[in-house]
Homo-oligomer: A and B are copies of this chain.
Amino acid sequence: MDKPTKPRSTRIQREKRELILEAALEVFAQHGFRGATIDQIAEAAGMSKPNLLYYFKSKEAIFVTLIDRLMEAWLAPLREMDADGDPVTEIRSYIRRKIEMARDFPRESRLFANEILQGAPRILPLLEGELKELVDEKAEIIREWIRQGRLKKTDPHHFIFAIWATTQHYADFDVQVRAVLGPDKGGEGRFEDAATFLEGLFLG
């Protein structure tokens, strides 16, 4: 009986696939799934369309690969929230991490937002499963902190939603934020200002 030899991927394959994913992230984040074309992605990756399709069998396959990777990184900050830590410190760190992600990975944030806006057709099971479990678990921690009188009383679920909404807002609605803040206050310092503000809002 032959071992079903896993088709070992070469160095070139890994590099090209990485190149394609990077280009696709750019294009998908700006135009959404339907709005993006394989040609656009191929051009951004510096290769021809058939060549791209040699590495990914379809546009959908690229998108799914991107989203799968994204979800890992997306849940990480919340996972790090530690029941044994100091509540204020833990929450402050969580907010910081989320704002840093909005600043450093806005394309990922927009990709995710796009998927949810369309009704999360590809990740609904994950939201109802893994994500819900994670949030429920952390909500229970927050509830415990409140019970111990170490945190102001609030609804833990809506508390988490509010942190998501406000932090991701600076990535997803960046155009609007910059437009409203104007050229003077819309510089790169806006993320630091946002972080400071949000700490005050959620912990003040």
Whether A61 is near chain B, meaning CB under 8 Å from some CB there, is no
Which residue of B has the minimal Cβ distance to A114? B117
Q: Provide the bound-state CA to CA distance between A173 and B135, in Å.
A: 15
**Using an 8 Å CB-CB cutoff, how does the interface string of A145-174 with B read, 1 for contact, 0 for none?**
000000010110111011011101110110
B158-A116 in contact (CB<8A): no
Q: In the complex the two chains form, what is the Cα distance from A96 to B33 in whole Å?
A: 34
A23 is an interface residue with CB less than 8 A from chain B = no
CB of A127 closer than 8 Å to a CB of B: yes
Contact A201 B154, CB 8 Å, known A110-B117, A116-B176, A182-B132: yes
Residue contact A30 to B116, C-beta cutoff 8 Å: no
Whether A117 pairs with B172 at a CB distance below 8 angstroms is yes
- Asked if A15 is an interface residue, CB under 8 A from chain B, the answer is no
Q: Mark A189-204, 1 if CB is under 8 A from B, else 0.
A: 0000110111011101
**Partner among B30, B120, B128, B169 whose Cβ is within 8 Å of the Cβ of A161:** B169
A180→B117 contact, CB < 8 A = no
Q: Smallest CB–CB gap between A172 and chain B, Å?
A: 6
Binding site for B on A (CB under 8 A): 30-35, 110, 113-114, 116-120, 124, 127-128, 131-132, 135-136, 152, 154-155, 157-159, 161-162, 164-166, 168-170, 172-173, 175-177, 179-182, 185, 193-194, 196-198, 200-202, 204
Q: How far is the CA of A155 from the CA of B132 in the complex (A)?
A: 33
Known: A131-B180, A180-B157. A162 touches B198 (CB 8 A): yes
Q: In the complex, what distance in Å separates the CA atom of A90 from the CA atom of B110?
A: 32
CB-based contact B176/A118 at 8 Å: no
Please, how many angstroms separate the alpha-carbon atoms of A204 and B131 in the complex? 29
